[in-house]
Structure 1
Amino acid sequence: MKNTSEISKMCQEATEPIYITKNGYGDMVIMSVKMYEEKLFMLDLYNKLAAAEAQIAEGKVLDNV
C-alpha cells in the first residue's frame, strides 16, 4: 500500500467498511477507527440485549412493585 493518505481519506468518507479483494476473492476489510469503535459498541449492545431477552424468557426478572 503506497498511498495510505488516499486510503485513509476513503475510509473516513465511507459509511460502510471497504472490502478488498484479491484475484476475485475477499481478502481484507478496512474501515476508520471511528467506524470500528461504533461497530464494537453496537455488537456489545446487541449481546447485552440478547442476554436480557434470554433472562426474560427464563423468567429471571425483578418485580418493581
Structure 2
Amino acid sequence: MPTIRPSSDLRNSYNEISEFCHKYNEPVYITKNGSGDLAVMSIETYERLVGKFELYALLEKGLDDIENSRVKPAREVFARIEGRLRK
C-alpha cells in the first residue's frame, strides 16, 4: 500500500518522510489539493531505479542487435580482448 501524504507534510514532517524513505526504500506520494503531485524517495532508491532503466535500455539495444544481425561469435570477441590484454 503506497504511503500518501499532503504537501504540507514536506514542510512540517520532512524528517519523518526522509526516515521512512530510507528505512523502507519506497517512495512517498505527495498530494497537492487532494491530487497526486510528487513522489519523494531516497537517493539510493532513485539511483537503483535509474540503474534498472539503464540496464533495460542496454538489454533492448542488445536484442535489437540480435534481431538485425549486428553480432559476432563470442570466441572472436574474447580472442580480440585477449589480444589487447597481451599488448
Q: Name the structure 1 match of 2:37.
A: 27
Cα offsets for 1:10-64 (capped at 9, x unmatched): 1112343221122332100000111011001111100000000001010111023
- Tell which structure's C-alpha radius of gyration is larger: 2
Matches within 5 A, 1:1-65: 1-64=11-74
Counterpart residue identity of residue 14, structure 1: Y
Q: Which TM-score applies when normalising by structure 1?
A: 0.85
Q: CA RMSD in A?
A: 1.4
Give the helix-richer structure, 1 or 2: 2
* Structure 1 gap segments, 5+ residues each: none
> How many residue pairs end up in the alignment?
65
CA distance in 2, matches of 1:20, 1:10: 13
Share of identical aligned residues, percent?
A: 35
Q: Secondary structure at the match of 1:37?
A: helix
Structure 2, unaligned stretches of length 5 or more? 1-10, 76-87
Once the two structures are overlaid, the 10-residue window that deviates more, 19-28 or 38-47, is: 19-28
Q: State TM-score, norm by structure 2.
A: 0.66
